[in-house]
A and B are shown apart, each in its own frame.
Chain A
């Protein structure tokens, strides 16, 4: 029986290898044909005219993620402090399921609400010709990364030893001063991990922002229609012919995105390891 369980254990490793090998194998041909430089730094993506530069996609993903983190992290972090330290038990028992519901709502549902409510609202409020924009995508992403940030930060804050807080209180700090000046610094690795996880979520999200970002491969600007790395794949995957350069270029985008994610995973690993050592 041990052999069977051993094989089951190896399956996960096998899958990771399989994914890596296939992504590299399918992603490289187009990069070789287009040229690494032209692919990564080309500023025009026009599959019809055979132009495959993904710089606008990369920059959009970076700006979109940065925007979502900028909006989502403060709200998520403060909600986590509220849940872990301040909220009366009854209130926390209401807020916590709300957060996990927010985490469970499918991304197409976020996309639908964004498309029908948020996009027209942005168009009217900012007097734009169309509301499909980087800003709409950032707002949707900010809401979507909230649960990851809240959950991980709350766990980190809850694990801070009571003695730290009691010592601070005994020295005359108020409860809130204690939470912000003692508990939060003590939980800072966990909170950092939460932020990194949020970055990973935001950079990997596809369907929700596919429905609100407009999907034109412009250089990123808040009110312009933009295309992310993820939506760049999503918008053309069903319409590209098998074996065409266009489809192979989509696989290459996938490879670039995969590298981004691996980088974030390594970062996450470092942050968490650091936590264990301290």
Chain B
């Protein structure tokens, strides 16, 4: 029925509803544009080569966030190295091995619970368990271990979703050719669910890059260069990541040029990570 043939009341209602829908979507996008505009307008002039490649120096009066970049990378690599095998293993167990229905729902409930816990609680957990009980102090290692717990649900979920889409016939084919179960998983199932594993990893990297509450209280607040030359040095390395550095510059030093420069970098990383996640989902989708 054409809208113009409707009674007045329905016509007004329809028009009103349409206007509201467009307004809301416009508001959502407008907010994003406003955010990006504000951040870039104030942040871009603070970014330069020296800032990206040196540590800050009080003597020369220069700002540098290289230590924060290194610390962020270290936390990403270490937490991924631990969470990937754990998360993929758990997903494999849930989709390939588990027969006990109760146990599966218990594990899935635990995963959902972990996903719902806010990061300030993880910060407390990191402080209580890793920094204090295990005696790791405020180090990048403590932070990375805390983030392992936080990212476990992300990896489990995306791997599991991808495992579920591997056709049953692949598995039957491999088994019929005489492959053992583990061999079948390793050579057939896991390679065909690589898209989920990669997407999960990218999402996990995104969460580490954007995380601040956990890192604020577990990795320390130093903005000086850390030593990653030996294992013993790595265990002791303790310093701010990008998000923590942003907080320190904004809230404790009132250096907003640097804070916005870091915000611009974080925003850029978010764009790249989102793009990569979308791309990985598309490109790696089943050969």
Contact = CB atoms under 8 A, between A and B. Distances in A.
B132 A242 contact: yes
B20 interface: yes
Contacts of B197: none
B161 to A, nearest CB: 13
B229 interface: no
Contact of B210 (A97, A106, A116, A251): A106
A16 interface: yes
A19 B270 contact: no
Nearest to A107: B212
B267 A105 contact: yes
A243 B202 CA distance: 38
Contacts of B246: 106, 108-109, 112
A95 B273 CA distance: 17
Given A2-B97, A22-B128, A174-B14, A233 B24 contact: no
A23 interface: yes
A5 interface: yes
Contacts of B58: none
B125 interface: yes
Interface in A1-33: 1-2, 4-13, 15-16, 18-19, 22-23, 26
B124 A16 contact: no
B118 A257 contact: yes
Given A8-B85, A9-B89, A82-B21, A211 B250 contact: yes
Contact of B93 (A6, A83, A150): A6
A237 B107 contact: no
Given A19-B117, A75-B27, A109 B266 contact: yes
Interface stretch (B30-38, B59-67, B231-239): B30-38
Interface in B1-59: 1, 3, 6, 10, 13-14, 17-18, 20-25, 27-29, 31-32, 35, 38-39, 42
Nearest to B153: A12
B120 A13 contact: no
Interface residues of A, number: 84
Nearest to B103: A9
Contacts of B73: none
A94 B25 CA distance: 11
Interface stretch (A38-46, A159-167, A258-266): A258-266
A104 interface: yes
B110 to A, nearest CB: 4
Nearest to A75: B24
Given A12-B152, A107-B212, A174-B6, A79 B24 contact: yes
A26 B132 CA distance: 12
Nearest to A100: B274
Nearest to A247: B127
A113 interface: yes
B149 interface: yes
Nearest to B115: A265
A107 B26 CA distance: 22
Most chain A beta-carbon neighbours within 10 Å: one of B6, B87, B112: B112
Contacts of B85: 8
Interface string B124-139: 1101110011000000
A70 to B, nearest CB: 14
29 contacts: A1-B181, A2-B97, A4-B89, A5-B96, A5-B97, A12-B110, A22-B133, A23-B121, A23-B128, A78-B21, A78-B24, A82-B22, A86-B21, A98-B28, A98-B32, A105-B267, A106-B210, A107-B212, A108-B263, A109-B266, A111-B247, A115-B250, A117-B38, A146-B31, A172-B1, A206-B120, A233-B124, A238-B216, A254-B124
Given A12-B90, A19-B117, 11 more contacts: A1-B182, A8-B86, A78-B23, A83-B25, A104-B206, A108-B250, A116-B260, A180-B17, A257-B120, A264-B116, A268-B116
Interface of A: 1-2, 4-13, 15-16, 18-19, 22-23, 26, 74-79, 81-83, 86-87, 94-95, 97-102, 104-113, 115-117, 143, 146, 150, 172, 174, 176-177, 180, 200-201, 203-207, 211, 230, 233-234, 237-238, 242, 250-251, 254, 257-258, 261-262, 264-265, 268-269
